[in-house]
Amino acid sequence: MAYCSQTDIQKLIPTQELAELTTESGSTPDAAVVSEAIAKADAEIDSYLGIIYAVPLSVPPARIKALSEDISI
């Protein structure tokens, strides 16, 4: 389970900007690229949390969601 979603990221940055970050051209974000960025962000978060907690977190706190969004972007 991912700590954030593409929808969450699109609430933080405009869709056009996300499209520019994830595709060569076009106005639609590449969902596969966004999913990969989220997976990498969550893996980084889990690498730190896994020292103390069982990961992935089944109910992540709001701060973990926010960190996942920020790192993904």
Q: 39-65 pLDDT, tens per residue?
A: 999 999 999 999 999 999 999 999 999
The structural domain count of the chain equals: 1
Nearest to 42 by CA among 72, 73, 20: 72
Q: Is residue 18 part of a domain?
A: yes
Q: Is residue 36 part of a domain?
A: yes
Q: Is residue 42 part of a domain?
A: yes
Burial of 62 (0-12, 13-18, 19+ CB in 10 A): exposed
Is-cis flag, bond preceding 61, omega within 30? no
Residue 38 CB coordination number (10 Å): 22
Kindly report whether the global pTM for this prediction surpasses the value 0.85.
yes
Amino acid (one-letter) located at 69: E
Q: Is residue 35 part of a domain?
A: yes
Q: What is the pLDDT of residues 3-44, one digit of tens each?
A: 999 999 999 999 999 999 999 888 899 999 999 999 999 999
The boundaries of the domain holding residue 25 are 6-72
Q: Is residue 49 part of a domain?
A: yes
Q: Is residue 43 part of a domain?
A: yes
